[in-house]
Amino acid sequence: MALKAMAHPLRWKILCSLGDRELSVGEIVERTGTSQSNISQHLEQLRNKNIVLARKEANRIYYRIRNHQLLELIGIMREVLCPANLDDRYPR
């Protein structure tokens, strides 16, 4: 079920943006070029499927990929599926 949730194009773009780092919703919006409300809806789906974790700090929510195994899987898929220009704009 997690793979199906990850297969949505915008959710995949979110996961590619996250990589092995933690980002705020605003940073994800900036990296994906999508509205905050749209990003928040998709992050909620990823959270419900236990793909990402959320952490609140003051008035911001930060997201990261849930665990090392998912990070490895996404890393392998990322090499094949993530747009190169996304990696170029936001180096690891």
User: What are the tens digits of pLDDT across the range 38-65?
Assistant: 999 999 999 999 999 999 999 999 999 9
- Measured over the CA atoms of residue 3, residue 73, residue 26 and residue 89, the dihedral's sign is negative
Q: Answer whether residue 21 shows pLDDT above 70.
A: yes
pTM value is 0.80
Tell me, which fold does domain 2-83 have in CATH?
Arc Repressor Mutant, subunit A (1.10.10)
